[in-house]
Amino acid sequence: MLKTLINELVEKWPELWPILAAIAVILAVVPFLGLYMTFIERKLAAYVQDRVGPNRVGPFGLLQAVADGLKIFLKEQVIPDHVYTVLYFLAPTLSLMTAMFALVVMPFGPVPTNYTGGFRFIVAPGIDIGILMMIAISSLSAYGIIVGGWASNNKYSMYGAIRSCAQFISYEIPLGLSIIGVIAVAGSLNIEHIVDAQSKSIWDWNIFWQPLALLIFFTSALAETNRLPFDLPECEQELVGGFHTEYSGIKFVLFFLAEYTHIVTVSFLTALLFFGGWSCPGIPSPSTPEGASLTYMLLGLLVLVLKVSCVVALIMLLRWALPRFRFDQLMGLAWKGLIPLALVNLIGVAIVLSLDLPKHLLVVTAALPVIAAYYSATQFNASMAKLNSERSVLSKSRAMSYE
């Protein structure tokens, strides 16, 4: 039996080694990225706030992330007496596992649609339901937060977990609706095919005819990753530390690494679905014989990394540009704002495709958020004026009663 297994492995090795190599790249790069994204975020925060930032350990402070990682690994593992021990340890592991599993169908470099032998920048190429699988797996990360909040046996942690559950459910709807138009035009749920459909020219990038979908997707993705201004599950002013109040040391690092892995996933999806992925003027598609050469594959990888880096930087800068929402505002934005806009965008895509109209007519949908924001501001100002008039009448009546 062992001999048969070895023979099968030898036969399957040409197909197996590219998968193992891609898994090794992800397992090696993602923790390193999570370690240094904290350093990059601290540097960006220092730039925004006119500070220096970390600069003591190593040249330009580049070894600060390594020092922080070593420090947190060597910290004492504090386990509160009141927690449910099994679930308490399971929660951070579950969060990181789901975050890593979502990268299985994520192309992190140019991938030709006609697959041949050799290394490919993806673990599982050619998955026909790739984008659906990724969203489904990513949504499971909410369970790690919910289990962590429950296992902590702490009311603040539990409130954070409940908030997270409500937030995930609410923002998954506009997130899914926003990419249906992209899927409909590409005619596939395969991420590689979606990128290939944008590779003809820069004007075929989905940003130029689906700006509203990009806005909805990016906003919903921020909420899914618990980033400001949507970090209500760990709102320090109300919940101490939120769902991870009782976590410290390496257990907290796993939660932190899962969050940054989600940021990388969201940034890759944004670049792949709306900004042409690895396509760029002057670089042929990897599906062509010329584009499949090593030089153009490395150029495509560089282009994709640059696009992803810009999205990551934007996510980090938004932390210092926008205030945190109240929870009722957060839920209202999803159900009263993003979901209706996503449905309108989806109707527009259906009309354009069914009547065979130029898809760039959908650019006019970019005016919808402006109109919605103007209407909301008008309603808010009217309600505030009414409230102020009622307060003035009440204060006058009280003054007369005192006299």
Cis bond before residue 229 (omega within 30° of 0): yes
Within 13 Å of residue 162, how many CA atoms lie on the same side as its CB?
A: 8
- Cα separation of 157 and 134, whole Å? 27
| Domain finish residue from 17, 44, 70 | 70
Residue 12: inside a domain: yes
| Domain finish residue from 70, 96, 111 | 70
Q: Residue 283: beta bridge partners?
A: 280
Q: Is the pLDDT of residue 272 over 70?
A: yes
Residues 196, 50, single domain; the answer is no
Residues 65, 120, single domain; the answer is no
Q: Is the pLDDT of residue 118 over 70?
A: no
- Cα separation of 108 and 301, whole Å? 8
Query: Averaged over 229-246, what is the pLDDT?
Result: 71
Residues 23, 97, single domain; the answer is no
Q: What is the pLDDT of residue 217?
A: 92
Residues 254, 303, single domain; the answer is yes
One-letter amino acid at 58 equals G
Residues 228, 284, single domain; the answer is yes
> Between 237 and 174, where is the model more confident?
174
Residues 60, 85, single domain; the answer is no
Residues 227, 90, single domain; the answer is yes
One-letter amino acid at 124 equals A
Q: What is the pLDDT of residue 270?
A: 92
Containing structural domain, residue 357: 75-366
Residue 266 structure tokens: 């969201």
> Between 204 and 116, where is the model more confident?
204
C-alpha pair distances (Å), 336 with each of 209, 322, 341, 343? 24, 20, 9, 12
Residues 57, 87, single domain; the answer is no
Give me Rg for the CA atoms of the chain. 24
Residues 82, 60, single domain; the answer is no
Q: Sort residue 358 into left (φ over 0), alpha (ψ -120 to 50) or beta.
A: beta
Note the pLDDT tens digit of each residue in 67-82. 887 888 787 778 888 8
With both helix axes pointing from N to C terminus, report the angle between 249-274 and 294-318 in degrees, rounded to the nearest 10.
120
Residue 285: inside a domain: yes
Q: What is the pLDDT of residue 311?
A: 92
- Cα separation of 15 and 339, whole Å? 42
Residue 382: inside a domain: no
Residue 265: inside a domain: yes
Residue 402: inside a domain: no
- The residue assigned the tokens 């899927």 is 183
Q: Is the pLDDT of residue 58 over 70?
A: yes
Residues 228, 310, single domain; the answer is yes
Query: Averaged over 310-332, what is the pLDDT?
Result: 85
Residue 389: inside a domain: no
Q: Is the pLDDT of residue 395 over 70?
A: no
List Cβ neighbours of 381 (8 Å cut-off, separation of 6 or more): none
Closest among 105, 111, 113 to 134, alpha carbons compared:
105
Q: Residue 319: beta bridge partners?
A: none
Residue 146: inside a domain: yes
Residue 213 structure tokens: 């979908």
Residues 97, 33, single domain; the answer is no
Number of domains composing the chain? 2
What is the full DSSP assignment across 189-222?
S-HHHHHHHT-S-GGGSGGGT-HHHHHHHHHHHH
Residue 353 structure tokens: 């495709």
Q: Is the pLDDT of residue 401 over 60?
A: no
Selection from 12-21, 206-215, 227-236 with the highest mean pLDDT: 206-215
Q: What is the pLDDT of residue 223?
A: 86
Share of the chain above pLDDT 90, in %: 2
> Between 129 and 3, where is the model more confident?
129
Residue 393: inside a domain: no
- Cα separation of 150 and 243, whole Å? 8
Residues 86, 194, single domain; the answer is yes
Q: What is the pLDDT of residue 89?
A: 86
Of all helices (H) and strands (E), which one includes residue 15? helix 2-48
